[in-house]
Amino acid sequence: MKKLTGALFIVLLYTACKFNAADTPKLPIYGNRDTASNVVNGKTVIDSVYQTIPAFKFINQYGDSITNKSLNGYVYVADFFFTTCPSICPIMHRNMLKVYNDYKNVSDFKIISHTIDPKHDSVAVLKKYADKLGISGNSWWLLQGKKEETYQLGEKNYLVAVKEDSGTPGGYVHQGWFVLIDKQKRIRGYYDGTDEKQVDKLRADIKTLLAETNTNIAQ
């Protein structure tokens, strides 16, 4: 009898693990995490609380005000650039164009590119850049705002899990990262925007993330 109980226990444990595995999202969740105890149906449940992108307010290339709420319900990719950057930005946006062309007609996907040189990159400059890059509509926003706020958001919120490289001016905001964010505003992937292979992975991961169902339960 004791043996049987033991076997039953093992079987139960196994199915429990299996159930969890099926429920776990395919892409990792990055950022700092915390736990919170909630009372559900009279029982106390411990839940993981993941780091999310906080409130922000910027202006896009059309002069429209864009906040974190404008991205509610969207899977999106964020990066940091400036229009006169002669080093890595052309490669990044040559690669980002591929992402744009893949998903520009997908209704719950967006790209946002934050300029880190708002002094030069006015709304008019950003619009001209967008036109020349060949992007239109609202699936790729170029965002302009206060420099400190952009850096703060970049380093404290988007790139938290990126290790700082030694000696690069501008810190890791200026290292060409593409950051994948899910509909709950959690960080789901980091990709080197100058590396074609990593960008190909991003293009595949976006599809996975868009297909992820029951995201509210997973949270």
Partner 1 sequence: MKLRVIGTVMLLLSVIIASCQSEEQQEFQRYYNGGKIIYEQRCQNCHSAKGEGLSNLIPPLTDAGYLKSNKAALACIVKYGIKETIITVNGKSYEGAMPATDLAPVDIAKVLTYVTNSFGNKMGVITSEQVDKDLLKCK
Tell how strand 65-67 and strand 177-181 pair up. unpaired
| Binders in 45-84 for partner 1, by CB under 8 A | 84
- Asked whether position 86 contacts partner 1 by CB under 8 A, the answer is yes
Span of 17-25, 116-124, 129-137, 152-160 interacting with partner 1 by CB under 8 A: 129-137
- Asked whether position 91 contacts partner 1 by CB under 8 A, the answer is yes
What is the smallest separation between the CB atom of 142 and partner 1, expressed in angstroms? Answer: 13
DSSP H helical ranges for 68-187: 89-103, 123-133, 147-152
Span of 91-99, 145-153, 163-171, 205-213 interacting with partner 1 by CB under 8 A: 91-99
What is the smallest separation between the CB atom of 133 and partner 1, expressed in angstroms? Answer: 5
| Those residues with Cβ within 8 angstroms of residue 179's Cβ, 6 or more apart along the chain or in another chain | 77, 78, 79, 158, 159, 187, 189, 190, 191
End-to-end CA distance of the chain: 39
What is the smallest separation between the CB atom of 167 and partner 1, expressed in angstroms? Answer: 18
Among 27, 106, 116, 133, binds partner 1 (CB under 8 A): 133
SS3 for 183? coil
What is the smallest separation between the CB atom of 76 and partner 1, expressed in angstroms? Answer: 21
| E strand or H helix that includes residue 190 | strand 187-192
- Asked whether position 185 contacts partner 1 by CB under 8 A, the answer is no
Q: How many other C-beta atoms lie within 10 A of the C-beta of residue 46?
A: 8
CA distance 61 to 141: 7
- For partner 1, which is the closer residue by CB, 53 or 111? 111
Which residues contribute to the site for partner 1 (CB under 8 A)? 84, 86-88, 90-91, 93-94, 97, 129, 131-134
